[in-house]
Amino acid sequence: MIDRVDKADMAPLERPRWRHRLSVRLFAVTALAVMAAEVLIFVPSIARFRQEWLEAKLETVSVASLVAQFGDAGLLLTPEQEADLLEALDARLVAIRRPGETKLLARASDLGPVSRTVDLREEDASSSIGMSFEALVSGGNRLIRLIGPIGDGSMSGEIVINERPLHHAMLVYSRNIFLLSLSIASFVGALVFGALNYSLLRPIRRMVAAMQRFGRMPEDPERVIRPGAREDEIGIAETELAAMQATLARTLREQRHLADLGLAVSKINHDLRNILASAQLISDRLSTLPDAQVQRFAPALIRSLDRALDYTQSVLAYGRASESQPKRRRVHLRLLVGEVLDSQSAAPERPVDLVNGVPDDLELDLDPEQFFRVLSNLVRNAIQSIDSDEAEAVVRRVTVSATALPNGDRIVVEDTGPGVSARARENLFQAFRGSTRAGGTGLGLAIAAEIVQAHGGTIRLSDDATAGARFEIDLPRSSA
């Protein structure tokens, strides 16, 4: 089951207005659906009611047919008897039809014009429905001639009546059907609403409350929702929400620990950099002494101090705020690459050939300062990778080139070093995890990737290199 939410946590819960609540909409939709079904039922039922009412009216003529037998014997109705018959039948005219013969039984002196003739022998379902609604909207102020079979069907009855009683009966029937439909719709709507509210809406409300409770303190693992044993969609939603909240809570705790650790490391690095700078000055002075032992160990000491100082500077640089938005300018790429190579040319003990293979006429739209850092990081990594190889016969070369693509431009930095290990490839471009050399921090690649992405481009380690490492930077034409 979902864990209960404390009253203190539920106090600020904002509930939607009643007309916007899902429960109210669900009840209304259910009730409207039932009412729509009742309307579909009402259409044929009102037609059937009218037909039965008219058939019942015609059956009263069967009683009058008994008089026709006396009429055949010459006993005709007196005017008083005709008036009583018309009053009993609530009619203006009563007649009986046999094959080849029509017998008039009674006729009112003020018959009036007949507005509509209804022959039940010729009506079908569609015409019956149409005439039913015609009778409802007519207002009941018409005289209609009704013809239909009576008795055993061997003869037909004809009667002229006022439509008002039929209109009134149909209105009463419609009212009763409406009230019944409303009652059924309310009952079914409440029943469906209760079932869905118990099985669907209440779990959703509990999940919403649990999410709001978790949002107030997402680092607290006790606020992670506890999924129930349901195996339907609600159960799946609870399980996925619990997994997402647990992952988020764990990530936030890790981020807080990393932030605290980063602050501590930055403070330590700041002081350590000053100490290393002093030690570097002393080591530089030691390297000038004529002592053979000092000359033997001083270069190694200097390189160690340089690496330590570079490490502290990289950590401090990465710990600062994220890169600012690029300040784009039209840049002659070959000149920018030349500046980068000049700044790295004196780095290793053993010389490395630095080749500028960028075309003379290639111009790109980018931030020169930021891309100087990108290319410097890549070239420095390449030089350090080559310098780690002690073999004398190995070609030592770093090449920076660029080519035009159909939709952009590509900058390539490749070297002839030992390449990137499979383990380093798994976490490439991730700070402190994606270094391409032993003892590195991976900050240079992480910073380079961030700058390239800010320019709308991508950076990747190519798999096409036959030897060494080949980094490719693709910049879209829209931003190049």
pLDDT in tens, 189-199: 788 778 877 77
What is the rounded CA–CA span in Å between residue 259 and residue 251? Answer: 12
- Whether pTM exceeds 0.75: no
The pLDDT score that the predictor gives to residue 480 is 40
**Whether the predicted pLDDT of 433 surpasses 60:** no
Contacts of 287 (CB under 8 A, 6+ apart): 294, 295, 298, 299, 302
Name which of 3-7, 312-316, 335-339, 409-413 the model is least confident about: 3-7
Name which of 77-81, 103-107, 278-282 the model is least confident about: 278-282
> Taking the alpha carbons of 128, 132, 138, 144 in that order, is the dihedral positive or negative?
positive
Walk across the sheet containing 101-107 and list its strands: 101-107, 91-98, 155-162, 143-150, 116-119
Average model confidence (pLDDT) across the chain: 78
State the residue for tokens 């807080």.
Answer: 256
CB 475 within 8 A of CB 408: yes
Mean pLDDT of 41-55: 89
**Listed residue (384, 394, 458, 461) closest to 421, CA to CA:** 461
In the chain, % of residues over pLDDT 90: 14
Task: Report which of residues 105 and 291 the model is more confident about.
Answer: 105
Per mean pLDDT, which of 7-16, 96-105, 169-178 is the most reliable?
169-178
Of all residues in the chain, what percent are helix, strand and coil, respectively (each to 5)?
55, 15, 25
State the pLDDT confidence band at 418, using cuts at 50, 70 and 90.
confident
**Whether the predicted pLDDT of 39 surpasses 50:** yes
What is the rounded CA–CA span in Å between residue 473 and residue 330? Answer: 18
In Å, the largest CA–CA distance within the chain is 164
Mean pLDDT of 161-180: 90
The pLDDT score that the predictor gives to residue 11 is 45
The pLDDT score that the predictor gives to residue 398 is 93
